[in-house]
Amino acid sequence: MRKKVIAGNWKMNMLPNEAIKFIQDLTPLVKDTKNEVIICAPYTDLFYTILNAQDTNIKIGAQNMHFEEKGAYTGEVSGKMLKSIGVEYVIIGHSERRQYFAETDETVNKKIKAAFENDLKPIVCVGETLEEREKGIAFDVITKQTRLALDGLSNEQVKNTIIAYEPIWAIGTGKTATADDANESIKKIREEISKIYGKDIAECVIILYGGSVKSSNAKELFNKSDIDGGLVGGASLKAEEFAKIVNF
């Protein structure tokens, strides 16, 4: 049985004082869950959230990292730096980074490898645009992104990669993929992993759904056979709403 994972992606939101209050408010609301609870915070909140999440079941992740360990890369933050302050997870290849910051399948793959080298668990995002969906090539797009993201990883690393299927047309739009459609896409991703790494490994990989997840649709989505939880944007900014999703 795969564990359910509910990860919040705050994106470019939350000042440190808001982040601290959020963690303090969320702590009692999710303390009894068996699900993995992760908050992916902006760099400027990471240290505060880590301090305040100590001795709780809330894990902290970053939203991006550079693949090099150090050097002349102005404005970048490395996996080693994240690890040094106690970060455990890192989102890699979010569609907003692919769209606005020139993230490619190649840099995604390099970042995943660098995350593992630094003992960080990657949450790797894949997803098709509306145009790709309408052309009928959504499955080709997401299986290709998955294949290229995982290229060259060991079986053990693949097992420990979290994938987030986030159809771009469903992000921040209020449009959610139907639970059946999301499950179908996630099954395709799992089949692709199975073709390359074998069924046993594919069955271990945690694959999340992301795109307008909220407390009112979480249960239906997360009860599907292949959906192992969610990567939650807007609805992760309020502790009570996010807690309801965690406790779906």
Residues 6 or more apart whose CB falls under 8 angstroms from that of 83 comprise 118, 119, 120
> Which residues ranging from 220 to 239 are in contact with ligand 13P (CB under 6 A)?
231-235
Give the total of residues touching ligand 13P (CB under 6 A). 14
Residue 198 CB coordination number (10 Å): 12
Closest CA to 91 of 247, 232, 237: 232
Shortest Å distance, C-beta 227 to ligand 13P: 14
> Which window, 98-106, 138-146, 166-174, 221-229, contacts ligand 13P (CB under 6 A)?
166-174
- Is residue 131 part of the annotated active site? The answer reads no
Nearer to ligand 13P, 61 or 233 (CB): 233
Taking CB positions, which residue lies at the least distance from ligand 13P? 233
Binding test (CB under 6 A) with ligand 13P, winner from 22, 210, 222, 244: 210
| Encoded amino acid at 101, one letter | F
User: What SS3 state is found at 38?
Assistant: strand
Residues 6 or more apart whose CB falls under 8 angstroms from that of 65 comprise 77, 78, 79, 82, 90, 92, 111, 114, 115, 120
Shortest Å distance, C-beta 233 to ligand 13P: 2
User: What does the per-residue mask of binding to ligand 13P show for 86-125, with x meaning CB under 6 A?
Assistant: --------x-------------------------------
> Which tokens is 15 given?
């000042």
Burial degree of 134 (CB within 10 A; 0-12, 13-18, 19+): exposed
User: What SS3 state is found at 8?
Assistant: strand
Interface with ligand 13P includes 30 (CB under 6 A)?
Answer: no
Distance CA 177, CA 248 (A): 18
Q: Which position among 103, 128, 132, 166 bears the catalytic label?
A: 166
Interface with ligand 13P includes 36 (CB under 6 A)?
Answer: no
Shortest Å distance, C-beta 168 to ligand 13P: 9
Shortest Å distance, C-beta 115 to ligand 13P: 17
Binding test (CB under 6 A) with ligand 13P, winner from 171, 239, 245, 246: 171
Q: Judge whether 203 and 247 are in contact, CB under 8 Å.
A: no
Shortest Å distance, C-beta 55 to ligand 13P: 27
Nearer to ligand 13P, 132 or 197 (CB): 132
Residues 6 or more apart whose CB falls under 8 angstroms from that of 132 comprise 138, 141
> Which tokens is 49 given?
């959230």
- Is residue 191 part of the annotated active site? The answer reads no
Q: Which position among 66, 94, 128, 192 bears the catalytic label?
A: 94
For 75, which DSSP code?
T
Binding test (CB under 6 A) with ligand 13P, winner from 4, 5, 9, 112: 9
Catalytic residue numbers read 94, 166
Binding site for ligand 13P (CB under 6 A): 9, 94, 166, 171-172, 210-213, 231-235
